[in-house]
A and B are shown apart, each in its own frame.
Chain A
Amino acid sequence: MYKAMAHTSESKPSLIRWEERDGVKVAIRHDGRTPDQLRPIRMEVGVLSNADGSALVEYGGTRVIAAVYGPREAVPRHVALPDRAVIRCRYHMAPFSTEERKTPAPTRREIELSKVIREALEAVVLTELFPRTTIDVYMEVLQSDGGTRTAALTAASLALADAGIAMRDLVAAVAVGKVDGVIVLDIDEIEDNYAEADMPVAMAPNLNRVLLLQLNGVMTHEEFTKAMELAVKGINTIYKLQKEALRKKYVSVG
């Protein structure tokens, strides 16, 4: 699934080709997907025995593992809040997850993503049920092939559910993008490298709430509206897969 590609070539490769299918012109992406098609997605809940909750999520070549510890006593104590739980979030990429080795020290990018992921989770976790505690959410990107923050959020919400922490809804996330002028769903690394825009979106699908939204790149107003519609479509599919993954663990146990 994961394909390496030399980034040294100066000219931008063509990432969309147009094909006639049933008399209609269809955009075909470099890996054969149509613009509204997700990559193969795999989810597994409860993969780590030590964590209170955990999940492994794959979007194509992207593989992220998330673990939740808590609610547990806040250490150091002064970080605790009297009326709610503190969420501590770490999004981190393994040094071997990328083409070039990534330094294990947290980068500015990881610090920013940890923040926006935490803010997304704050909006669904019922933190007021666990005052003076912390809920730790750790996400490790094991292999990166685009859309790692969205896969991390999807995994984090599964791990929270697996830990039995009360939530208003699950969080499902996907990145949409604009590649060669076409709005596409679930962009991978090659597309991201040459995309005109990359837009990660996370939602609480059942409540129709947008929890994370970033746009890196340029879009017209119409393109943005279209990209949002496409994101919702992908998110609803991912949401179904999440529920299936949770059911699979607990039904087989039961």
Chain B
Amino acid sequence: MSLTPSTSIIVPKLKRHTMEVLLTRGVRLDGRKLDDIREIKIEPGYIERAEGSALVKLGETMVLVGVKMDIVPPFLDTPNEGVLVVNAEFVPLASPTFEPGPPDENAIELARVIDRSLREIKAVALDKLVLEPGKHVWRIYVDIYVLNHDGNLFDASALASMAALMTTRVPQAVKVEEGYVVDRSRYAGLLPINHRVVTVAIAKVANKLIVDPTYEEEEVADTRLVVAVSDDGRVAGIQKTGGTGYLTYDEVLRAVSLALRKAAVYFEALKKFVEPYRLELEKKLSESEEAQKPETELPRPLPSREREEVVEEIVHEEALSSEDSSEEH
């Protein structure tokens, strides 16, 4: 059941008035122009324990995303695809309005919007994460952890999710008698990515459209439109969310155009902060692979009945490490 929320922070009337007056002059409370995005910082690989991770700071908003992977049977209707799960936690330390407990409707909505934005355009190449069709596939958990809430959790979470996925190392799958186990001491390569996707949140305040709203602005806003944009300039998802207001038909069209234009800022941030780390990671992985080679070339002697399985394992490792070269098994 969804209830009208009681306004969580009370923006004093005077401040609201100031905000509206400033907006008519094309300026916001923090000095930004209407279509300015706050300063972006991305720290990929923030959690070494995770297969992939990134800490994103969007102004004062702070979101940490960790990616973990394991091996599961696929869904019945997609035997040839890995499984992607997106979950969001609004941890109580992030805001005085967050309470401990299971995800509320806002956290569920955020996770589902990011999930769809990634899934529909096939941002992650799930078809390359199959160990045995219909039996064993990789499952990717994207866990969004909001650490500080100063508005626009959508864009910060989408950016952190994308950065974490771009720098996710797929662990080695080792075949055992009944299926596979995950060996996290070795990596088979980077997670195969088809598309990069970001979201751009547009808020409507005093009949003006503003990009990347702060918490204060969100509280005053009539409503928001979150638009997912892919690296090839398509609209990968939309969600009207928050507030009790509306957008006119023209405002919807303008907001989508604005989002398509402003997405470049986020893509630029991914290029600046994440791409170098990704390349470094790729290099490191291929080096460690070289170092591991003697081991795989000189396997320990085995009783003959086990040999077949070992061959399978090696074949499988090769298949995984050549994932990026569109080879499938």
Contacts and interface: CB of A to CB of B under 8 A. Distances in A.
B176 to A, nearest CB: 29
A89 B239 CA distance: 18
Contacts of B240: 116, 119, 210-214
A115 B3 CA distance: 8
A117 B111 CA distance: 18
A250 to B, nearest CB: 27
Given A86-B3, A118-B2, A224 B247 contact: no
Nearest to A114: B2
B41 interface: no
> Chain B interface mostly helix, strand, loop or mixed?
mixed
B105 A112 contact: yes
Contacts of A208: 248-249
A220 B108 contact: no
Contacts of B244: 119, 122-123
Interface bin, chain B = 35 or more
B109 interface: yes
Contacts, number: 125
> Chain A interface mostly helix, strand, loop or mixed?
mixed
Contacts of A199: 238
A59 to B, nearest CB: 21
B246 interface: yes
Interface residues of A, number: 48
Interface in A103-135: 106, 108-109, 111-112, 114-119, 122-123, 127
A123 B247 CA distance: 10
B243 A119 contact: yes
Interface string B2-32: 1110100000000000000000000000000
Interface in B106-163: 106, 108-109, 111-112, 116, 120-121
29 contacts: A84-B4, A87-B3, A88-B4, A89-B2, A90-B2, A108-B112, A111-B109, A112-B112, A114-B2, A115-B109, A116-B109, A116-B240, A116-B241, A119-B241, A122-B244, A123-B223, A123-B246, A127-B4, A199-B238, A210-B240, A210-B246, A210-B247, A213-B238, A213-B239, A214-B240, A218-B235, A218-B237, A219-B234, A228-B249
Given A87-B3, A115-B2, A116-B109, 20 more contacts: A8-B77, A81-B4, A88-B1, A88-B2, A111-B2, A112-B112, A114-B105, A123-B245, A127-B4, A203-B249, A208-B248, A209-B247, A212-B240, A213-B239, A219-B234, A221-B233, A221-B234, A224-B235, A228-B249, A228-B252
